[in-house]
Structure formats: C-alpha cells, structure tokens
Structure 1
C-alpha cells in the first residue's frame, strides 16, 4: 500500500504477520526531554542489528510534550521476551544516560481485536489512546479509524483512534483526561 501523506496511518503500518503488539508510554516531563529521549531511542534502534522477530516500531509524542508512546509489532511474545532479556537493558541504559529519570510504568502486551476504518485516505493528525476502550469512538463523526487492542493480561482493552486534527477530535466531544492521551506521529525506528 502506498502512503500518500507524511504521517502513516495505522492501517498502513499494521503488519498481518504480527503476533503481538506492545504499547509502552515513557513519561519524560518536558518537550525538550521528550525529543531528546525519542532521538536517543531512534539512534539506538537504527545503530544496532534488527532483533529477530521485530517487525516494526513507531513512536508517537504526547501533544503536551510530556511523553512518548511506543507502538511495536513483534512476530511473537517469545521473540520480544528474548530481546528483552538479551539486548534491551543495554539499549535502555544508554538512553537513560542521555535522558535520566524517564518514567516507564510498563508495557501492555496486546493483540489487535478489531478495527474500523471510516476514512482511509485522509491524513491523521491526532492519535487518541483510550483505556479502557469505548465503543462510541468507532461511530463518532470525525473519527477516521479506531483500533481496539485487547491485553494478554486481565487489563482493560485499549483503543487507538485516529482523528484528522485536534479540532475534529474536540468537535466530537473528545477531551484528554486520565483515561485518554493524545499523540502526534513522530517516526518509525
């Protein structure tokens, strides 16, 4: 599929051979620290060998500049766990030397449960991540698409909804809050 706009849409980057999706938010506190952490992790990923079973990783930045959402796709849980044991500590250690004090409350290991793409052509400027997932977004005017991921643990489902821009999100009654974070696309690593 050809990407015809600068920000790839989720339906363009989700790989059919993905066995597990990982969602992880890093709290960095400020826009400068967020950019520095995002650049550091991008450098680490591009400098090293691609781990076996790693399919894709995309980074999104909080619109308020306080953190990073990692959206990673792996062939299997086992492939990711092997990377986490053997390689991840060194990668994270180097990032932490550059940007100390990053908060990492953990990752969510998920599977894509369902998706609804209402408009697959328009560019998405905002990604709203809601926990727990709510069925209203899938039918809310202005939402370009919604992707519900269910956790492999007993935690709540997570919804990633694409919106054209902040104005469309707010016009549909969307508001950030404790259960909703808003992001803009940053880059793939």
Structure 2
C-alpha cells in the first residue's frame, strides 16, 4: 500500500468556532480493507472542492483493532452538516464504496464540547500524540447536568492525579439530532491524546491501585453512571479548507498507513 505523504494538521478539539463535532465509525473487517478505505477517502476528498465553508475540518483515524475507522468532523453549526448530507455526502460515499465495497457504517452522533483537560506545558511541549483514545460513557438519566457534573469530577481527578502519558482530553456532550443522527442524549464522549500505547497501557494498569483515591473513587461511584467503552486509534488523514494552514502532525506511525 502507498504511503499517505500529506497527513494534514491535527484538529483542535477545543477551537471556539465549532458549533457541532460529529463522530462516526465505519467497520471494514480487515487491516487491508481499512488501509484501502483510508486511501479511497483521501483520493475522493483530495480530488473535489471543499464542500462547505461551514465545514472547518474533517479527520480520519484508523482503529488499532485493524477493523474500524473513526471520522471526526468539525462544523460551524449542525444545520450546515444537514445541507451537506442532503446534497454532497452520498456522491462522496459512492466514490469510496466503488473502491472498497460493503463498508458497514455504524452510526453518526453530534456532540458539543463541554470541557477540556491539558497536561502541564512541560509534559506537552515537543510531544506528539502517538495514540488517540475515544471513550463513550453512558448514563441512565438524560439530564445534561448529570453529565456535566461527572465531567467536572473527571477533570478534577486528572488535575490532582495526572497520567504521565496523557497530553489532553476533550469532553463532549451528545446533542439531539435529526433522524439520521443518534438521539441518545445521555452520553459523554472523551477524545484523549496520549504519547503512545505504552503510556496508555501503564495508566490503565494503574487504575486498580488508585481506585480508592477520593477523586477517582467519586468518578467511578457517580450516581447514574452506566458504563463506558473505548477504542484506540492512530491518526491517518485530515482535511481542511485550502485557505487554512496549520502545522502538520508528522509522527510517522500516524502519518502513514499501517
């Protein structure tokens, strides 16, 4: 497979002009099809005009499971996405499907960022994220105050007991959408950047010993918390309007196809 030589800039999950952050997942079945889909997406998007001024960025990540792709698009507002969905999305998907048939599209949800955590500057400076971990946490009550309070506790715990390999974490609250979007309003999505898999696995191994700490104990015992599931990803490609420029992420594991 060819190398993706222009990976593009990483998105700024905390940029203030994002009115809707959309996340979706595709299942490809094999690492070979996963790589082929990334190349088909790149060929499709590189060969077409930018579809809408309200689309601020579009980023593709490959799951370490060798199966999934995650799509993260930032829009000025969700209404602009619905226009794109009706007028331009299908033609692009058809082009990708012609190259990689039988893609399973597992769902699309719209979120708005609530809070972010950033590691101390000394830890972040010069460090490229080698791993992205996206976790979806569910609650049994649709009241958004419940989810905001839980995120506040998580950020407090991270500030008190930061993980050495965690660079940042952005917490998003799901919002209601039109019929082709998820309408589950009791979910938090966290988008975390880690230095690499080794650091993430070390942090997960330390969860047990620190579970009794007051900050993390309150997070785990939070009323209404149902459970959480996460996936690990490597960055593959991002797309931004031609007039926009940003430093490119050049870490080779994320900038090339596996």
TM-score range, shorter chain: 0.7 to 0.9
Structure 1 CA distance, aligned partners of 2:92 and 2:83?
14
Q: Does 1:162 align with 2:193?
A: yes
Greater relative contact order, per chain length (Cα 8 Å cut-off, separation 6+): 2
With 130-139 and 60-69 compared, the bigger mean Cα shift is at: 130-139
Q: 1:23, 1:71 within 8 Å by CA — same for their partners in 2?
A: yes
Task: Look up the match of 1:35.
Answer: 35
Q: CA RMSD in A?
A: 2.3
Q: 2:14, 2:116 within 8 Å by CA — same for their partners in 1?
A: no
Task: Look up the match of 1:74.
Answer: 75
Question: Relative to 1, partners in 2 of residues 1:95 and 1:9: Cα closer, same or farther, differing over 3 Å?
Answer: closer
Aligned length: 181
Question: Relative to 1, partners in 2 of residues 1:54 and 1:7: Cα closer, same or farther, differing over 3 Å?
Answer: closer
Identify the match of residue 230 of structure 2 among 166, 180, 184.
Answer: 180
Give the Å deviation of 1:22.
0.6
SS at match of 2:105: coil
Question: Relative to 1, partners in 2 of residues 1:37 and 1:14: Cα closer, same or farther, differing over 3 Å?
Answer: farther
Task: Give the alignment of 1:19-168 within 5 angstroms.
Answer: 19-52=19-52, 53-118=54-119, 119-121=123-125, 122-132=127-137, 135=154, 138=158, 139-142=161-164, 143-153=166-176, 154-168=185-199
What CA deviation, in whole Å up to 9, does each residue of 1:7-61 have, x standing for no partner?
Answer: 95554x6532111111111111111101111111122112111122111011111
Structure 1 CA distance, aligned partners of 2:59 and 2:40?
14
Q: 2:9, 2:238 within 8 Å by CA — same for their partners in 1?
A: no
SS at match of 2:21: strand
Q: 1:109, 1:151 within 8 Å by CA — same for their partners in 2?
A: yes
Q: 2:28, 2:68 within 8 Å by CA — same for their partners in 1?
A: yes
Q: 2:21, 2:73 within 8 Å by CA — same for their partners in 1?
A: yes
Structure 2 residue runs of 5 or longer lacking an equivalent are: 1-6, 139-150, 177-184, 206-227, 240-258
| TM value normalised by structure 1 | 0.86
SS at match of 1:97: helix
Structure 1 CA distance, aligned partners of 2:198 and 2:10?
18
| TM value normalised by structure 2 | 0.64
Give the Å deviation of 1:120.
3.4
What CA deviation, in whole Å up to 9, does each residue of 1:53-108 have, x standing for no partner?
Answer: 11101111111221111111111111110000001111111111211111111111
Structure 1 residue runs of 5 or longer lacking an equivalent are: 1-5
